[in-house]
Each structure stands twice: as C-alpha cells, then as structure tokens.
Amino acid sequence: MTQNTLKKVETYCVPLMDHRIRLSDVAAGTFKTIQSRKGFKSAIKKRLVTLNGKMAITADYISGGEIIELFQNPIQNKKPSIALNLEVIFEDDYLAIVQKPPGIVVSGNRKYTLENALAYNVAKSTQEDALYRPEPVHRLDYPTSGLLLIGKTSFALIALNKLFEEKSIQKTYHAVTIGFMADHGIIEAPIENKKAKTTFKVLKRIKSRKYESLNLVKLMPSTGRKHQIRIHLASIGSPILGDSTYGKEGFIGQGNGLYLHASKLSFMHPLTSQQISKRIPLSKKILKLFPDD
C-alpha cells in the first residue's frame, strides 16, 4: 500500500523528552482518533503511521522533535452501498441519529444492512478525522425498530462508545407484552453470567382473549446485554408480543413481527457539550393496539 492511497488524519510533533522511548509506547490519548496504546500499535503494524515522513515500525525510538503522522486507509473500508431511505432524526458534522426500520440488520457481511445505507442518507463529515463512511455506535435487533446512534468521525465514534461504557446514554424503549405483569419494577436477572438491569413501567393494559392481557410497557435498560429486554421480560413470564425466540410456545403472533421500539435517546454531545434528547412516536403496529389518547 502506497502512502498516496492513504488519507492523513492527524499530525503530532513529539516534545523533548528526558529519555527516548519506543514509538509504540506513545502515551494513550496522544491522538484523538486512537485512544489506546494497543490501537496505536495496531495502526503501526497496518502501516498507517509515519515517523519523519518514513513508514514507522514498532521498534522505532523517539526522543523529541520527531513528526508522527497518522493515516486512514479508505480502500480497506469500502463496502457496498444500498439506496434505502432512512429517516434522519438529528445530524451534525460529528454524529447522527437515524430511525431504523424493523426487518433489517444493523451491520454484518450481507449487502442489505442499515450500515450500508448510511452513506446514502447521512452526509460525510468535513472534519480531519472523518470516517470513510458513517458507522453505527450500537445495535438494534433485526426485528426491532427505533433510534440508532451513528458516528461520523473517528473521535466521535470513540467518545460515543465511551459514553455507552459509562452508562451516560439513556435509552428508552416501548414494547407490548403478553400476560399479567406488575405495574412497575426492576429486573436484574444476569445474562450470560453478566450483570443486567432493566427498569419497567406498565403504561396501559387491554384485555385479550388469547393472551389474557396485552400491556404497553416503557423500558429503561441500564446495561446493554444482547437481547436484554427480550430476555428480561420473558424471565418474568411476560414476553414481548411477536418474540419468536423468547416467547411462550403457542402464544407467538404471526406476521406482524416483534413489538419492540427504541423510542428515545438522551446524552451529552461529546464534542459540542449540547444536551441531545430525541424522541420518536411509537411504531404504527404498537399504535394500532394502543392509540394515542
């Protein structure tokens, strides 16, 4: 790979040091687009780092005055694009929030993914560390609809992931569950031997001949385990309507999919310090059962 095919994203002039160190031991946080030594070492091995204009190796030493340049490789990031219209709820030069329709995977090896539709819907960032194409920060299950957070720059992607790790992004879901359940509560059943916590509140109920009761439930997960909400609701005997994986045998609806919707995202913008809080209406199939008053 020649340097001409790479895009330079950061330049760093090494300050004078008391003693020399290996290039791979540059302090974490030196580059805003790579915030760990492991990540920087990986970039060196991928030939994405130059030292004084020459391709760097991990065995190089620095003592001060050297110029380190960090590059991205657009060719490695090429994936197919699909012309799928997405509703963009919020967008600036660093991140975006889009509405994921049900029945599409967020990312993966197949062509028809939401990730492959992002370049068609979201503008590329003008920042120096702009990603070759926008990337999802988290995931929603294939049958789940709702708000999805997107990173448009390397630093934004890192910072948003950190917010998720610190539990500083508040997510709210709505679901329709079957059977009787308490008015409110907290579910803390471990998932794959890891702590998991979901707070719920029943907003409305309607009687059902088949299911005994259908409940409109507001859910606030404090952790982000795979299928957490679906597993937790099933664990208390009130699985989500249409859940073919965790639902009760003989009580799984046919044809309408999963009644789970990511309805709200709230967080502090990691670059502008703006408080972002975006809410979308319930999905049409939920509103059909529980119309707005």
SS3 track for the chain: CCHHHCEEEEEEECCCCCCCEEHHHCCCCCECCECCHHHHHHHHHCCCEEECCEECCCCCEECCCCEEEEEECHHHHCCCCCCCCCEEEEECCCEEEEEECCCCECCCCCCCECHHHHHHHCCCCCCCCEEEEEEECCCCCCCCEEEEEEEEEHHHHHHHHHHHHCCCCEEEEEEEEECCCCCEEEECCCECCECCCEEEEEEEEEEECCCEEEEEEEEEECCCCCCHHHHHHHHCCCCECCCCCCCCCCCCCCCCCCCEEEEEEEEECCCCCCEEEEECCCCHHHHHHCCCC
In angstroms, the CA 69 to CA 239 distance is 52
Per DSSP bridges, beta strands 198-208 and 212-221 are: antiparallel
Catalytic pick from 141, 183, 292, 293?
Answer: 141
Torsion of CA 118, 122, 124, 125, to 10 degrees: -120
In angstroms, the CA 232 to CA 240 distance is 10
Per DSSP bridges, beta strands 145-153 and 260-268 are: parallel
141 carries an active-site annotation: yes
Tokens linked to 33? 């687009």
Q: Which residues are catalytic?
A: 141
